[in-house]
Structure 1
Amino acid sequence: MKYIRYILALTVFFTFSGCSVYNFTGTGKIDAKTFQVNYFQNVSELIEPGIDRDFTLRLQDMIQNQTNLSLTNTNGDLVYEGEIVDYRVSPMTATAELTAAQSRLSITVNLRFSNKNKPEENFEKRFSFYDDFSGTSLPTGAQLKKSLDLIFERITQDIFSDTLAKW
C-alpha cells in the first residue's frame, strides 16, 4: 500500500511537470517576456502600397496569438526587423495567343532576428512564397487580397517556426 502511494505520486508529478515545457504551438519554454516587430519597409523594385504595413501587422498578430509574449515598441527581448526585398508578378504559362494563362505573385522578405537573452540564436534569413492565379486576372482587388493572405500566412508561419517553434 505504501509503495502504491509513492508510485502514484511520482506518476502524477512527472505527468504535470512535463506539461509545462511544451504547448500546442511547439514553442516550448521561451526565455523571453517581450517581442518587438519593427516596420518591414517595402524596398523592392515594384511597390504595392500598403503591403509593408499589412505584413508587419500580420507578423505581430501571429506571434501574439501563438505565444504569451507581450508586444513592445522598444527594447524587446526578441526583435524582428527587415524589409520586403522582392514583390514580383510574372507569367508562368502561355496560351496559343501568347498571353499569360497563369501568373505568379511572389514576395520575398529579408528578416533579421535577434534574441537579447540568447545572442547565439540571432540570424538573418530570406523567406519567400508565391501564389499562382489565372492569367486573365490582375493582382488587384479581391485577387490581390487572396494572394497576399496566402503568401503572408506562409511567410509568417515560416518565420514563427524558425524563431520560436524550433521544429
Structure 2
Amino acid sequence: MILKSKRIHAAIGNRQSAISKFLISGCLLFIVLLFGGCYSFKDVSIPPEVKTFRVNYIENKARYVNPQLSPQITDKLRQKIVNQTRLSPVQTDNAHYEIGGKITEYNVSTSGISGQQASISRLTVAIEVELKNNLNPEDPKTNFKASVSRNFDFDANLALAQAEPQLNESIIKNMVDEVFNRIFSNW
C-alpha cells in the first residue's frame, strides 16, 4: 500500500512537472511572439521593394562653415541607415533611395539675457534634406525636399570657436537623428 501510494504521488508529481514546464514554455513563447512582433525598427517605414540606398555628400552651404560638419554628418547618416534599417548601401547611380542635402544654416544668436548681458548663445543648425525614390519617382511621400533644424545652447561667454568642440558631437547626433526621422518615420 505504501509503495503504491509513492508511485501515485510520483506519477502526479511528474504530471505536474510536465504541466508546469508546458505552461512556462507557452508563456515564454507568447512573450517572445508578443514583443517580437512589436519591433519595427523604431517606427521606420520602408516599402518592401526598396532594398538599397546611397547617401550623397551633405554639402555645407551655410554662411559660416564648420569644416567638420559635412563629412561627419554624411558618414554618421550612412552608419545609422545601415544599423537601423534593412537597406544595403551602394555607391552606384541605381540605388533605390538616393539621399542628399545641404547644410543651409549655421548661425549664432542670443538666447538668454541676465543683468543686461547675454548669458546664453544659441547655435541654430538647419539641413535641407532630399529623398529620391528611384523605384517610384512619382510618390510624394518618398520623393521630397524638407528642412530640419535644431538649436544648441551654450554659454555666451564663449566664442563659437570655443563652444564648437563641446557641441560638435551633440550637433552631429541630433542632426542625423532629425534627417533620419524625416526620411524614414511616419510622423
TM-score by length of 2: 0.70
Q: How large is the RMSD of aligned CA atoms in angstroms?
A: 2.7
Q: What residue number does 2:136 align with?
A: 118
Unaligned runs of 5+ in 2: 1-29
Structure with bigger helix share is 2
For 1:144, the aligned partner's letter is: E
Determine whether 1:26 maps to 2:43.
Answer: yes
Q: d(CA) in 2 for partners of 1:29 and 1:58?
A: 19
TM-score by length of 1: 0.77
Determine whether 1:73 maps to 2:94.
Answer: no
> Among residues 55, 59, 80, which one is paired with 1:41 in the alignment?
59
Q: d(CA) in 1 for partners of 2:76 and 2:159?
A: 23
Q: d(CA) in 2 for partners of 1:165 and 1:43?
A: 26
Unaligned runs of 5+ in 1: 1-11
Structure (1 or 2) with the larger CA radius of gyration: 2
TM-superposed deviation, 1:22: 5.2
> Among residues 146, 149, 170, which one is paired with 1:128 in the alignment?
149
TM-superposed deviation, 1:38: 0.4
Determine whether 1:89 maps to 2:108.
Answer: yes
Determine whether 1:54 maps to 2:75.
Answer: no
Structure 1 segments (4+ residues) deviating >3 Å: none
For 1:113, the aligned partner's letter is: L
Q: d(CA) in 2 for partners of 1:114 and 1:146?
A: 34
- Secondary structure of 1:140's counterpart equals helix
- Secondary structure of 1:156's counterpart equals helix
TM-superposed deviation, 1:41: 1.0
Q: Percent identity?
A: 26
Q: d(CA) in 1 for partners of 2:39 and 2:132?
A: 22
Instruction: Note closer, same or farther for the CA distance 1:24–1:82 as it changes in structure 2 (3 Å cut).
Output: closer
Is the Cα–Cα contact under 8 Å of residues 52 and 96 in structure 2 kept in the other structure?
A: yes
Matched pairs, number: 152
